[in-house]
């Protein structure tokens, strides 16, 4: 009973939030480099404000992030000390193909990740690699309008083929697009798609066409991965978090159900290999014309993913009643506030039981193994003079969520492959660009404006998580 032998405990980061070194060793500019801290960030993230280059008067935290590019050895050594079985990280497309369309890849970028994977191997840590964590070369954004254009698929395939070939034998677990459903909510951050000059109807059309291109590219990536090495395991990655009906009024139930389906649309295609009927109906009813090319349907059908991965931070609430106005922030988009749940300092609703609920829901829907690749508490840590943080609130958050995963395994019989908590080392927040929104077991001395020594130090939760892993989830 409890967590199975071989359960992949670990932590997760993403290139643009961790590496920095945005212009080092030939790296090209990426959409995610251009998200400033401050009040304009949301508009840029949501594709409403155009920011295709660095502008004066803004601070861009991804430029240097926590300098993981130069400090990964120290960091992986700490992950090894924690006992990580896996480390989820992403490859920056622009380190491999700086513009996205070069005939040959950038050797320095390829070598960098090879070194990272070898460093993991040294400690027996299995890499879990996201091919695109919100990451699109700006050159392709400017030239083609990013994923709205079909051209992207070929460039992405080439990128996938290059890394899958190079890292054969070093990496077995792959995720294609991080939180693919974010393209509907945060199109510029999620997929480099700027929609600020479009009407709402045009923007919807562009977003679904771009989503189709990503779904086709996802199927291609699965195909290439399986061809190159049948041992490869490829997952989709969904921003999870169910909508609960605000009340048992059937109207609230329906609103919540329909809202969830917008997100499940992506994993439905990736796991089942075809567009769900409800989405085809929506396109028909709303006059959305998604262009399929010959062969798309077959490609999608024949190349479904091996497992379902998702992030889970919170549940959401749906209501049909416009009078219920109290809302709260959440992972990228906000939600009606749930009166039964406490919230984090950033207003995200804390709901451990929701972890079990979403595990059940996803397994019932797909019957594929599940992998929780993001979960955690973004909090304002206050370190002592040695950089030590008494983060009992984080320990409590995680213990409560991990217990629910254990119940889902023990009581519901759900196959769960692993758990990588988000931001195992403090990194730049994707939503706000802040450094003070911290998730890690490892504190990093850096502030919102990039000041600090970047020194790493262990928080209280470091020793706690180490014991969790050592005991395979018995001691929480
Ligand atoms: C997910 C992303 O949306 O949530 C991560 O995949 C992100 O990139 C994480 O960092 C937490 O969100 P935030 O806004 O607190 O950084």
Q: Are strands 335-336 and 327-328 parallel, antiparallel or unpaired?
A: antiparallel
User: Active-site residue among 214, 374, 404, 434?
Assistant: 374
- 425 DSSP 8-state letter: B
pLDDT of residue 471: 98
CA-182 nearest atom, ligand 1: 3
Q: What is the mean pLDDT of residues 206-235?
A: 98
CA-346 nearest atom, ligand 1: 15
pLDDT of residue 324: 79
User: Active-site residue among 179, 214, 404, 434?
Assistant: 179
Q: Facing residues of 9 across strands?
A: 419
Pocket test of ligand 1: the residue of 186, 431, 433, 440 to mutate, having most ligand atoms within 8 Å of its CB, is 431
The pTM assigned to this predicted structure is 0.97
The answer to whether residues 234 and 306 touch, using CB atoms and an 8 Å cutoff, is: yes
pLDDT of residue 331: 76
The answer to whether residues 421 and 375 touch, using CB atoms and an 8 Å cutoff, is: yes
Mean pLDDT in the chain? 97
Q: Is 179 among the residues known to form the active site?
A: yes
pLDDT higher than threshold 90 for residue 326: no
What angle is formed at CA 51 by the lines to CA 88 and CA 216, rounded to 5 degrees? 50
> In sequence order, what DSSP letters do the residues of 382-407 get, joined into one string?
---TTS----HHHHHHHHHHHHHHHH
The answer to whether residues 68 and 442 touch, using CB atoms and an 8 Å cutoff, is: no
Q: How far is the CA of 250 from the centre of ligand 1 (A)?
A: 32
Name residues whose C-beta falls within 8 Å of residue 417's C-beta, 6 or more positions apart in sequence.
Answer: 7, 8, 307, 369, 370, 371
pLDDT of residue 166: 98
pLDDT of residue 225: 98
Protein residue with least CA distance to atom 16, ligand 1 = 429
Q: How far is the CA of 188 from the centre of ligand 1 (A)?
A: 15
Q: Return d(Cα 446, Cα 439) in angstroms, integer.
A: 14
Q: How far is the CA of 363 from the centre of ligand 1 (A)?
A: 23
Q: How many CB atoms lie within 10 A of CB 227?
A: 11
Q: What is the mean pLDDT of residues 255-276?
A: 96
pLDDT of residue 214: 98
Q: What is the mean pLDDT of residues 324-337?
A: 79
- The pLDDT tens digits for 42-72 are 999 999 999 999 999 999 999 999 999 999 9
- The pLDDT tens digits for 110-157 are 999 999 999 999 999 999 999 999 999 999 999 999 999 999 999 999
Helix/strand/coil for 327: strand
- Structural domains in the chain, CATH included, are 8-470 (3.20.20.80)
Protein residue with least CA distance to atom 8, ligand 1 = 430
Q: Is 331 in the pocket of ligand 1 (CB under 6 A)?
A: yes
Q: How far is the CA of 328 from the centre of ligand 1 (A)?
A: 16
- The pLDDT tens digits for 281-323 are 999 999 999 999 999 999 999 999 999 999 999 999 999 988 8
Q: Is 375 in the pocket of ligand 1 (CB under 6 A)?
A: no
Q: Is 311 in the pocket of ligand 1 (CB under 6 A)?
A: yes
pLDDT of residue 332: 72
Residue carrying structure tokens 């009973």? 1
pLDDT higher than threshold 80 for residue 9: yes
Protein residue with least CA distance to atom 14, ligand 1 = 431
Band the pLDDT of 335: cuts 50, 70, 90. Answer: confident
């Amino acid at each position: 009973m409890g967590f199975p032998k071989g359960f992949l405990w670990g932590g997760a980061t993403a290139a643009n939030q961790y590496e920095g070194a945005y212009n080092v060793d030939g790296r090209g500019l990426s959409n995610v480099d251009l998200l400033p801290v401050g009040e304009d960030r949301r508009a840029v993230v949501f594709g409403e404000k155009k920011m295709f280059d660095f502008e004066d008067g803004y601070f861009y935290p991804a430029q240097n992030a926590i300098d993981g590019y130069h400090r990964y050895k120290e960091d992986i050594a700490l992950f090894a000390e924690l006992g990580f079985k896996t480390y989820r990280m992403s490859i920056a497309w622009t380190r491999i193909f700086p513009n996205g369309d070069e005939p040959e890849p950038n050797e320095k970028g390829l070598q960098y990740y090879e070194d990272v994977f070898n460093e993991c191997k040294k400690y027996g840590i299995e890499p879990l690699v996201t091919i695109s964590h919100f990451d699109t070369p700006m050159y392709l954004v400017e030239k083609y309008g990013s994923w709205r254009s079909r051209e992207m698929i070929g460039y992405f395939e080439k990128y996938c083929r290059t890394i899958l070939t190079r890292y054969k034998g070093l990496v077995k677990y792959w995720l294609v697009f991080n939180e693919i459903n974010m393209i509907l909510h945060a199109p510029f951050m999620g997929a480099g798609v700027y929609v600020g000059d479009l009407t709402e109807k045009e923007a919807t059309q562009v977003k679904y066409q771009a989503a189709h291109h990503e779904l086709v590219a996802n199927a291609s990536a699965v195909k290439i991965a399986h061809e190159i090495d049948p041992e490869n395991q490829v997952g989709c990655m969904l921003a999870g978090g169910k909508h609960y009906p605000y009340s048992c009024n059937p109207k609230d139930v329906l609103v919540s159900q329909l809202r969830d389906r917008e997100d499940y649309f992506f994993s439905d295609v990736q796991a089942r290999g075809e567009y769900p009927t409800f989405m085809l109906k929506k396109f028909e009813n709303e006059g959305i014309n998604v262009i399929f090319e010959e062969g798309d349907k077959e490609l999608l059908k024949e190349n479904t993913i091996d497992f379902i991965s998702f992030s889970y931070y919170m549940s959401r609430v749906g209501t049909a009643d416009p009078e219920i106005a109290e809302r709260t922030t959440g992972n990228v988009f906000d939600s009606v506030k749930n009166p039964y749940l406490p919230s984090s300092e950033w207003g995200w609703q804390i709901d451990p039981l929701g972890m079990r609920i979403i595990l059940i829901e996803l397994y019932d829907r797909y019957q594929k193994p599940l992998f929780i690749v993001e979960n955690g508490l973004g909090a304002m840590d206050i370190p002592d003079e040695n950089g030590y943080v008494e983060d009992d609130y984080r320990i409590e958050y995680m213990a409560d969520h991990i217990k629910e995963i254990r119940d889902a395994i023990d009581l519901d019989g759900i196959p769960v492959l692993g758990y990588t908590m988000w931001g195992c080392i403090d990194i730049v927040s994707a939503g706000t660009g802040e450094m003070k929104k911290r998730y890690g077991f490892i504190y990093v001395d850096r502030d919102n404006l990039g000041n600090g020594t970047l020194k790493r130090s262990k928080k209280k939760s470091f020793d706690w998580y180490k014991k969790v892993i050592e005991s395979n989830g018995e001691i929480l």
